[in-house]
Chain A
Amino acid sequence: DAKTTQPPSMDCAEGRAANLPCNHSTISGNEYVYWYRQIHSQGPQYIIHGLKNNETNEMASLIITEDRKSSTLILPHATLRDTAVYYCIVRVDNNNDMRFGAGTRLTVKP
């Protein structure tokens, strides 16, 4: 199973870009990188996913390095409501399990 490593916590100023890193050095060729976030006492919210190309949607951008060993989730203009735990996940390829680790606790400050 490809495992992920994320910093336990990060701060970001409101209105600035939040860049959340994730290392997944053992990722295999057909595994996708997923990002979710979880606001306290709520269900995880899907943000974005990608295989090897950079991806962008209305919530965020995902930058995956060429060797696919790491990625960065970018929230372009962080707001206070973006304060949450952000999870980087690499899909397990023998079932449909989403293996959530401890994630990064992002705190957006005014």
Chain B
Amino acid sequence: DGGITQSPKYLFRKEGQNVTLSCEQNLNHDAMYWYRQDPGQGLRLIYYSQIVNDFQKGDIAEGYSVSREKKESFPLTVTSAQKNPTAFYLCASSIGRNQYTDTQYFGPGTRLTVL
């Protein structure tokens, strides 16, 4: 059963703590992405990775960090430097070989609440 998994679905953390969100895909996709969604708004790109061991900042990378040590995994760490971390976090992946027709497929999301 191929797809993108994110865990956990709901996550609660105390203010000041770092937290890592998991994203795994078994679609053999080269590219992976992290987005953030706030209530009633569209998605905003945090980080993306087009290949293993390489990643680029998106529009709102401050306070976040990522790694891409394996093709199938792209974990996102929300650090204590992120001022408003409470949000719905979405991971996506795509084949990554054609910039204009590269459909992104999304995971189910992780809702992070910082208390």
Please tell me if the beta carbons of B109 and A98 are within 8 angstroms of each other in the complex. Answer: no
* Mask: chain B, 56-97; 1 = CB below 8 Å from A; 0 = not: 101100000000000000000000000000001010101010
Instruction: A99 to B56: give the CA distance in the assembly, Å.
Output: 16
Please tell me if the beta carbons of B106 and A45 are within 8 angstroms of each other in the complex. Answer: yes
Question: Smallest distance from the beta carbon of B63 to chain A beta carbons, Å?
Answer: 19
**Is B53 on the interface with A (CB-CB < 8 A)?**
no
CB < 8 Å: which of A42, A44, A96 contacts B102? A96
Please tell me if the beta carbons of B48 and A93 are within 8 angstroms of each other in the complex. Answer: no
**Is A82 on the interface with B (CB-CB < 8 A)?**
no
Please tell me if the beta carbons of B101 and A44 are within 8 angstroms of each other in the complex. Answer: no
How many contacting A-B pairs (Cβ < 8 A)?
63
Instruction: A73 to B111: give the CA distance in the assembly, Å.
Output: 29
Instruction: A99 to B31: give the CA distance in the assembly, Å.
Output: 16
Contacts of A102 in B (CB 8 A): 40-42
Contact status of A97 and B41, CB under 8 A, knowing A44-B106, A46-B103: no
B: residues with CB less than 8 A from A are 4, 6, 31, 33, 35, 40-43, 45, 48, 50, 56, 58-59, 88, 90, 92, 94, 96, 99-109, 111
A: residues with CB less than 8 A from B are 30-32, 34, 36, 41-46, 49, 87, 91, 93, 95-103
